[in-house]
Structure 1
């Protein structure tokens, strides 16, 4: 789905930015998804398709906010008991990353790194 070169670049950028707090990296389009990275000490959930499908709904959510006074959509952070999910969506592709605990500054750096790669794609 995504070239090996882009996949490696995304994982490398996320690992560099987040370090040991990186849990997983998934690339997705409106139709498909591809898990690029899962930390060795973790197991993939029972229904990764449902998880990816939920994040793919972000394409329609992005259009919902298109006319908002808030400005352009940038990214989504979801907070969970044991970590966070950061979703970045471009025109026809996106990436979601799961992490451990991060500061808001680190989330911003992570998003910038992902957006830069998606713009090149």
Structure 2
């Protein structure tokens, strides 16, 4: 999805991508956002084929719960999946889903704070 720098929504989506990449680093696999105004993949690591984590993103965005959450609180869920970990952060009607090879809980807390900060702007 092409994004223009003068559109507030596009700026917010770009900020979400950069925040997720900055917090998780090289372990980040992919990031998607699903909300009333937009539904798209923001980032996919270059070594992954298109759609590699799409089923996980779709299930989490639709509110599927994992069988054994590693961590869950109001609006944030971390689960393991076959290729690593998936984190869903809900802010209002918007879900941001990030997959990673691995994630430490302090990084997940930072990721949640960064996403919430951007979506509440």
Return the TM-score normalized by structure 2.
0.75
Distance 1:119 1:113, change over 3 A: same
What is the aligned-residue RMSD (CA, Å)? 2.7
Q: Which runs of 4+ in 1 moved over 3 A?
A: 45-48, 50-53
Where is the helix percentage greater, Structure 1 or Structure 2?
A: 1
For the 8 Å contact 1:25–1:37, the answer to whether it is kept is yes
**Partner Cα distance (2:74, 2:37) in 1:** 21
Where is the strand percentage greater, Structure 1 or Structure 2?
A: 2
**Partner Cα distance (1:23, 1:46) in 2:** 9
Aligned residue pairs, count: 108
For the 8 Å contact 2:61–2:96, the answer to whether it is kept is no
CA shift at 1:54, angstroms?
Answer: 1.8
* Unmatched 5+ stretches in structure 1: 62-71
Distance 1:46 1:37, change over 3 A: closer
Return the TM-score normalized by structure 1.
0.75
| Corresponding position of 1:64 | none
